[in-house]
Amino acid sequence: MLKPLLGNWKVIACQLHTRWLPLSIFKEFVYEFKDNDTYFIDWAHLTYPDFMGGFPKSKSGKVTIDTSVTPHAMDFIPDEGPFSGQKVEGIFELDHDIFKANFAFPGNPRPQGFSSQQGEVYEVWQRLA
């Protein structure tokens, strides 16, 4: 795990399938990255609305990071949910306490930029003290 990512991150903006979501949908999501290459999401049982394609978040899983590529790559492998055991490929940028990441749902190519396309979710996170 990339040491600067360890700890807790609150989602402060989210775009799903090209559409920005209202704060009320994601405001409780808090990611925790651990030094054993795993993640945990508080309030993961909440889902995005059906009109946005739905996307129940897995509350935990494995994470891999590759900083040798630009943009940096980050992949999740959820432990449960509709994408259990499947790689969710993403890209990320870290600027001190602000983290931007765009992830493609399984079956879609890794995102190329920091704005979601169909089949992608783009999130901005802020580090929690």
Phi, psi (degrees; rounded to nearest 5) at 39: -130, 160
Residue whose C-alpha is closest to residue 16's, from 48, 61, 58, 47: 48
The structure's pTM equals 0.84
Does pLDDT of 4 surpass 90? no
- Per the listing, tokens 């169909």 go with 118
Taking only the tens place, the pLDDT of each residue in 55-106 is 556 678 899 999 999 999 999 898 877 788 999 999 999 999 999 999 999 9
State the pLDDT confidence band at 19, using cuts at 50, 70 and 90. very high
User: What is the CATH classification number for the domain harbouring 30?
Assistant: 2.40.128.280
State how many domains the chain has.
1
Phi, psi (degrees; rounded to nearest 5) at 53: 95, -5
- Per the listing, tokens 């765009």 go with 102
Domain ranges, residue 18: 3-127
